[in-house]
Structure 1
């Protein structure tokens, strides 16, 4: 792949996700099955808008199925999946439409609370939509109007998954097929931190004294679509909240509003300032403790502690009538640790949201800062 992201004075090459690999393999296998002809490359569109032309490998053509693989390329962000083969086996079906299944090395979901159904393959919604869309396009191109069954396999995923958090999340036997954009952007920590600082310096140079910040795509979408705020001058901090706050003090900003998904923002309530899961996965402990402080039984505390996602935590807290009290304490702690990091030199605010439940909580100055940014967006 020859798409690059300029960062820290150098061009870093992007890669493509396991979801893109699975999509390309599925489309290539479908085309070869329906035409009976081998192809040397296949083209897919990604949600990021980047068009990929990928080469099928290990092609196996039989009378009733075709199997092929796409090799994962993580670009200049190599990880444990870089270079592995992602396979798709496509077979004709009588029922119309495209059915996606998981094979060897694709994890099976065993617990509720994830984006995938319990008992089904750990194939996230975006790559699943990509596969259905591209395979359907291939069927339409050929004029085939029945159905196809697609089985995605990642043979090396069985072993690689043991190095991940998948078993703790209730995903057994393999990897998750991931990707929200289809593209892997280089994730060098120093490059990402420097990129964030460049964005902050740009805001400083424009005379902006009030920072609006989110972690990534979820926060960007929520801030724009739900809060109705202008995000043109916002900054993305990725996982680096500590570096964000330090540099905000250094640059002399007056206020900072952080809009974050509960799964990341709750970590700040325990003083964790790098929210990447490799540093800390402490999303449920504080919720469980505060729930018990507010009268929850030990059994309910254990239930909260064992939740797979913060959305599941919210569900339990609401059921027990503890949500408001617990969230008040959690946001107080977030406010404490943010203010401790900036030594009180900047007014900070944080707004916690969920894609399922909407706004979950705010620190004491968050409403004031939200109104400030709404006024800024209106040109006042």
Structure 2
């Protein structure tokens, strides 16, 4: 029999980014290559924040090897702490070769993707190693070269075992990153359930659409809403933004990267939350407000009996069924449109569509949008 789980409250454990893992592996491999020194732990400095020095952390080095003459490889296991990260438990590795001239030169080993579209923070054709991890790698390797009085440079290959498969669970294929994962991180630390990586991927998807001169994007809450946007709006992958619960992340980023037209498409429950003024649509952050729905129904002329039936409903779908004589879904789309529109740059054309569980439209505002 399995032991009883401990359900007592405890602090959630932070983890380390793939950028931190790559830096530790590169540093351990370079030291091994230049000195022959083996290490089971590698200390690195995380990026400084707000003028304060970064924290020093120690990562386990699970393997050190020489794949061929003049080359060294180091591995570590990605520990994302208590964050549900797709790369948690994956083997991140670095392969280091010396260069006769100074500098740090990057390439992708297996499992790390290549950037194929404009709009990302790394140029087309480069390995998907984001700017902060690149800087961490450069700083640590440059410091090691100075410490050892080594005057050459380094060719640095970063890889992730099974990264090609893991990448299919991320937004990389849609963003135009092929062949594997991205090496990420801005602070070096993964904050549990911060959703920072997901929000960053939303921003990157908008950036890619903007850089490729798209005029119309659709932000969707799930598979059914995406299916509707693809078929009814005629949009392809680059124009489809998987916002999930993060409507605020889309609306705020569009202030910095404006688009001519935005379609918001979601299940009626999510749309009702946006209509009620919530920008985080997850159940942990917002609940369906049946009193708000009742007030909308009253404004549409619903009888007292219908209003009370809405208050007694358990789901948004049930509330709609009980208010079938009034355009409640359309009113919710209208209110959601108002909430979103006032957060967008002037001139952005906006439409909001609510879909059912089969991806069929329940209502749209403006109703003539196409």
Query: What is the TM-score normalised by the length of structure 2?
Result: 0.55
Matched, 1:54 2:70: no
Structure 1 segment 112-191 matched on structure 2, within 5 A: 112-187=118-193
| Cα offset, 1:42, TM superposition | 1.3
Contact 1:271 1:337 (8 Å CA) reproduced: no
Structure 2: which 5+ residue stretches go unaligned? Answer: 1-7, 207-217, 244-249, 265-269, 277-287, 296-334, 351-370
What is the CA RMSD across the aligned residues, in angstroms?
A: 4.8
| Cα offset, 1:352, TM superposition | 5.3
Contact 1:72 1:85 (8 Å CA) reproduced: yes
Query: What does residue 91 of structure 2 align with?
Result: 85
CA distance in 2, matches of 1:281, 1:133: 44
CA distance in 2, matches of 1:43, 1:280: 46
CA distance in 2, matches of 1:302, 1:163: 19
| Cα offset, 1:113, TM superposition | 2.3
Structure 1 segment 63-74 matched on structure 2, within 5 A: 63-74=69-80
Evaluate the alpha carbon distance shift between residue 271 and residue 136 of structure 1 in structure 2; reply closer, same or farther with a 3 A threshold.
closer
Evaluate the alpha carbon distance shift between residue 93 and residue 159 of structure 1 in structure 2; reply closer, same or farther with a 3 A threshold.
same
| Cα offset, 1:85, TM superposition | 1.2
Contact 1:112 1:308 (8 Å CA) reproduced: no
- The higher radius of gyration belongs to 2
| Cα offset, 1:164, TM superposition | 2.5
| Cα offset, 1:75, TM superposition | 1.0
Structure 1 segment 260-271 matched on structure 2, within 5 A: none
| Cα offset, 1:163, TM superposition | 2.6
Evaluate the alpha carbon distance shift between residue 29 and residue 336 of structure 1 in structure 2; reply closer, same or farther with a 3 A threshold.
same
CA distance in 2, matches of 1:308, 1:94: 45
Query: What is the TM-score normalised by the length of structure 1?
Result: 0.54
Residue-pair matches, total: 258
Structure 1 segment 131-280 matched on structure 2, within 5 A: 131-187=137-193, 272=221
**Cα displacement string for residues 170-219 of structure 1 (whole angstroms, at most 9, x for unaligned residues):** 222211111121111111xxxx7xxxxxxxxxxxxxxxxxxxxxx96999
**Residue aligned with 2:11, SS:** strand
Contact 1:105 1:175 (8 Å CA) reproduced: yes
**Residue aligned with 1:168, SS:** helix
Query: What does residue 37 of structure 1 align with?
Result: 37
Query: What does residue 239 of structure 2 align with?
Result: 305
Evaluate the alpha carbon distance shift between residue 31 and residue 78 of structure 1 in structure 2; reply closer, same or farther with a 3 A threshold.
same
| Cα offset, 1:89, TM superposition | 0.9
